[in-house]
Amino acid sequence: MPLDVQATEQAMRGVLAEHFNGGDEKGCVAAVAYADGDPVIVAHGTDDAGTTFSANTRFPVASITKMATALAVLRLIDGGQAGLDQPLSDVLGDVPAAQSGVTLRRLLSHTSGFQEPLVWEPHHTWQDLEQSWLATTPADPGGHFEYSNLGYCILGAVVQALAGERWTAALTNLVLRALQVQASIGEPVPAGLPTLGGNPNFGHFRRLEWLALGLPDSGLVSTVSATLSLVKAFAGYAPEWPLALVQEATSVQTAELPAAGYARPPWGLGVQIRGDQNLHPVETWTPRGASAASFGHQGASGGLVWHDPQSHVSLAFFTSHDASRPNWQFAGRYLLGGRLLACAKMKEH
How many domains would you assign to the chain? Answer: 1
Examine residue 187 and state whether it is found in any structural domain, yes or no. Answer: yes
Better pLDDT: 205 or 110: 110
Distance CA 283, CA 271 (A): 17
Residue 36 lies in a domain: no
The helix, strand and coil proportions of the chain, stated in percent and rounded to the nearest 5, come to: 35, 15, 50
* Residue 49 covered by a domain: no
Asked if residue 161 belongs to a domain, the reply is yes
Structure confidence by residue, pLDDT tens digits, 101-151: 999 999 999 999 998 667 788 888 999 999 999 999 999 999 999 999 999
Q: What is the pLDDT of residue 2?
A: 83
pLDDT bracket for residue 261 (50, 70, 90): confident
The pLDDT value recorded for residue 331 is 66
Measured torsion, CA atoms of residues 341, 345, 347, 349, in degrees rounded to the nearest 10? 90
**Domain membership flag for residue 320:** no
How big is the chain by its Cα radius of gyration, in Å?
Answer: 19
Instruction: Kindly state the average pLDDT of the residues 227-236.
Output: 98
> Max Cα separation, the chain?
61
In a domain, 92, yes or no: yes
Nearest to 147 by CA among 58, 66, 42, 60: 66
pLDDT at 346: 77
Give the residue-averaged pLDDT of 181-210. 91
Domain that holds residue 250: 59-307
Does residue 285 register a pLDDT over 90? no
Strand pairing class (259-260; 145-146): parallel
Q: Phi and psi at residue 213, in whole multiples of 5°?
A: -70, -25
Question: Quick one: pLDDT band at residue 287, thresholds 50, 70, 90?
Answer: confident
- Given a contact cutoff of 8 angstroms between Cβ atoms, the answer to whether 30 and 327 are in contact is no
The predicted structure's pLDDT at residue 119: 75
Structure confidence at residue 279 as a pLDDT band (50, 70, 90):
low
Q: Where residue 335 falls among pLDDT bands split at 50, 70, 90?
A: confident
Kindly state whether residue 149 falls inside one of the protein's structural domains. yes
Select the highest-mean-pLDDT range: 62-66, 194-198, 325-329, 344-348: 62-66
| Mean pLDDT, rounded, for 187-211 | 90
- pTM, two decimals, is 0.96
pLDDT at 288: 86
The CATH number of the domain holding residue 149 is 3.40.710.10
Tell me which long-range contacts 168-173 makes (C-beta under 8 A, separation of at least 24).
168/214, 170/72, 171/68, 171/69, 171/72, 171/214, 171/216
**254 has a pLDDT exceeding 60:** yes
* Burial classification of residue 164, based on how many CB atoms lie within 10 Å of its CB (0-12 exposed, 13-18 middle, 19 or more buried): exposed
Q: Considering only 182-191, 192-201, 326-335, which range has the smallest mean pLDDT?
A: 326-335
